Amino acid sequence: MRWFCPKGFTKPSRWITRYDLRRRSVKTNPVRKPKQRSRTPRGLDRSAILEAAFALIDEAGEDGFSVRKVGAAMGIDPMTVLHHFRSKEELLRQIADRALGSIELPSPSGKWQTDLMNVAVAYRELAKRHPRLFHLHFRFHATGMADHISSEIVYRALLDASLPAERAAGLGLAFYAFVLGFALAEIEGLLKPLDGTEEQEMAELDAGTFPATATLLPAFRSLDSDRAFDDAVGAFIVGIAAGAPARNGRAS
């Protein structure tokens, strides 16, 4: 039997045989640690977390929102939230789509002008119903399936207006920028009639320097936001029709 000192052993109390090494390896096999149980409550799924996150931001706004607060509301670790949604931004994206899914989206009517107006009306309703999270729709090209359903109606309407694909793509995004911007401005107060302080400031402007402002001042006092919305979206649609190629010698 060959005696030797194996590598890694220093100052052995005695020389070790290969038989001793085999015996030692059996004794020193690492003990497997039991798997830690998930802290996620039984039955909890992704949709439940999304609903809790949606309720939180709908009430507190983005300034009062955090993954930690979502976890606290659910009684789970914040990392469990991120496990389901990968990142805070992805969670916010799906919250925006959850909000859009809460309103009734129009079905194609067969008339592209009507379809564009109906989608605009739906987003305006969304802004009024969920003002604290509406701005999230500016952040993402698409928030999810509800957004894709809405976009399909808009893109189909623009193609039905005989626009070429490159123009339809650009005008489709411009349509959303316009509608979202109007709706956000409205819920922030831009489309409301003038208050006393605002009216006084405008009334004190020199009419010779600001003649158009002076002319419109009475209209600003009694501004009708519904009419402003209809006129604005209608003007957008008229502009699309004017720029669309003619069909059989007539404008579409």
The DSSP call for residue 191 is: T
The answer to whether residues 62 and 125 belong to one domain is: no
Window from 13-17, 49-53, 213-217, 230-234 with minimum mean pLDDT: 13-17
pLDDT exceeds cutoff 90 at 19: no
Q: For residue range 59-83, list pLDDT tens digits in order.
A: 999 999 999 999 999 999 999 999 9
The answer to whether residues 50 and 168 belong to one domain is: no
The answer to whether residues 126 and 228 belong to one domain is: yes
Window from 21-35, 70-84, 123-137, 238-252 with minimum mean pLDDT: 21-35
pLDDT exceeds cutoff 70 at 198: yes
The answer to whether residues 150 and 237 belong to one domain is: yes
pLDDT exceeds cutoff 60 at 237: yes
Q: Does 11 map to a domain?
A: no
The answer to whether residues 181 and 227 belong to one domain is: yes
The answer to whether residues 129 and 67 belong to one domain is: no
The answer to whether residues 139 and 72 belong to one domain is: no
The answer to whether residues 121 and 79 belong to one domain is: no
Q: What pLDDT does residue 249 have?
A: 44
Q: What pLDDT does residue 104 have?
A: 92
Sort 142 into a burial class: Cβ within 10 Å, 0-12 / 13-18 / 19+.
middle
What's the residue count for the chain? 252
Its domain, for residue 57, covers 46-86
Q: Does 185 map to a domain?
A: yes
Tokens of residue 70, six digits:
């979502």
User: Which residues does 205 contact at the CB level (< 8 Å), separation at least 6?
Assistant: 213, 214
Q: Does 82 map to a domain?
A: yes
Q: Does 75 map to a domain?
A: yes
The answer to whether residues 234 and 166 belong to one domain is: yes
The answer to whether residues 126 and 161 belong to one domain is: yes
Q: Does 170 map to a domain?
A: yes
The answer to whether residues 149 and 53 belong to one domain is: no
The answer to whether residues 57 and 116 belong to one domain is: no
Q: Give the model's confidence band at 17: pLDDT under 50 very low, under 70 low, under 90 confident, else very high.
A: low
The DSSP call for residue 86 is: S
pLDDT exceeds cutoff 90 at 36: no
Transcribe 199-220 into DSSP letters: HHHHHTS-TTT-HHHHHHHHHH
Give φ, ψ of 3 to 5 degrees.
-100, 140
Tokens of residue 200, six digits:
């006084």
Region 231-239 average pLDDT: 97
Percent of the chain past pLDDT 70, that is, above it, reads: 80
Whichever domain contains 50, its CATH number is: 1.10.10
pLDDT exceeds cutoff 80 at 123: yes
Q: Give the model's confidence band at 245: pLDDT under 50 very low, under 70 low, under 90 confident, else very high.
A: confident
Tally of domains in the chain:
2
Tokens of residue 37, six digits:
């149980």
pLDDT exceeds cutoff 50 at 250: no
Q: Does 104 map to a domain?
A: no
* CA atoms of 225 and 203, how far apart (whole Å): 21
pTM, entire model: 0.78
Q: Does 248 map to a domain?
A: no
Q: Does 15 map to a domain?
A: no
Number of neighbouring beta carbons within 10 Å of residue 230 = 14
* CA atoms of 127 and 174, how far apart (whole Å): 18
Residue type (1 letter), 85: F
